[in-house]
A = this chain, B = another copy of it.
């Protein structure tokens, strides 16, 4: 059996395999370098960087839920200056694509970050975190057509780097948001960020999280995210990076079959620091076992075949 070809192209961005960490679950890679060779990854993605240093939200910041977790970290950040001197060089030195996730509280702030990173060099793509549910005012850009368009336009104006719009699942019509992102200049989509949820402590009779609500992630959300990826990839031409509950090779293959061009492993890293290399190995094994030489052949196979009629 020939060694399968795991490489994928996301527009201009070519990755040696379709697996990367989800922003905010991997810091910028340093911690997991102890557990596996980071150069194995298709790309590295940092925790969303903000323009200014920030402390993040008051604790408690996390709580476990059935097959998932709620988090309300609130984007603590070292700020872009430290990012450029400490984190970015580390990411750039890895033998994989460097995707920089940025987050802002306004279109202006997003735009400034994009400009700075455009000039910084060595950035292969920018992921715009339009979907954090844990800002103090709880505004999620990617649930509001106007806000999302504004941010995207501002960012597009400032760079020719590939822009990834990270969508929010907290919407009625994910396809509409995907189309909007396409229209306003996104080169790729990341689907999706966390679902807004909460937990209450029946003993104290108070919400558990310091900020009341938080973002639900982990295996619990996987079936909903899979449906969204299935819908988006059939409706919109942009490459989609899937994110939501992906914990192993089988999960990743499900998302590739649903149409995703790449996948992000998030919460799973916390439980298993080897989740990313195991996911890569799992995809490879799937291809060895079941045929196709190139991973691109399975992307969207679940609907491409279904379109052809069962």
- How many copies the complex holds: the figure is 2
A302 partner, pick from B68, B196, B207, B245, beta carbons under 8 A = B207
The digit string for A215-236, where 1 denotes a CB below 8 A from any CB of B, is: 0101111111011001000000
Q: Are A206 and B305 in contact (CB under 8 A)?
A: yes
Q: Are B202 and A68 in contact (CB under 8 A)?
A: no
A197 partner, pick from B212, B227, B298, beta carbons under 8 A = B227
Residue of B nearest to A140 (CB): B172
B residues near A226, Cβ cutoff 8 Å: 197-200
Q: How far is the CA of A200 from the CA of B197 in the complex (A)?
A: 26
Say yes or no for A33: interface residue by CB 8 A criterion.
Answer: no
A65 partner, pick from B199, B202, B223, beta carbons under 8 A = B223
Say yes or no for A2: interface residue by CB 8 A criterion.
Answer: no
Number of interface residues of A (CB under 8 A): 47
A198 partner, pick from B220, B227, B305, beta carbons under 8 A = B227
CB within 8 Å for A198 and B223 given contacts A66-B245, A305-B205 = yes
- Besides A68-B223, A198-B223, A198-B230, 12 other CB < 8 A contacts? A65-B223, A66-B67, A66-B245, A68-B220, A197-B224, A199-B254, A200-B226, A205-B257, A206-B302, A206-B310, A207-B306, A212-B230
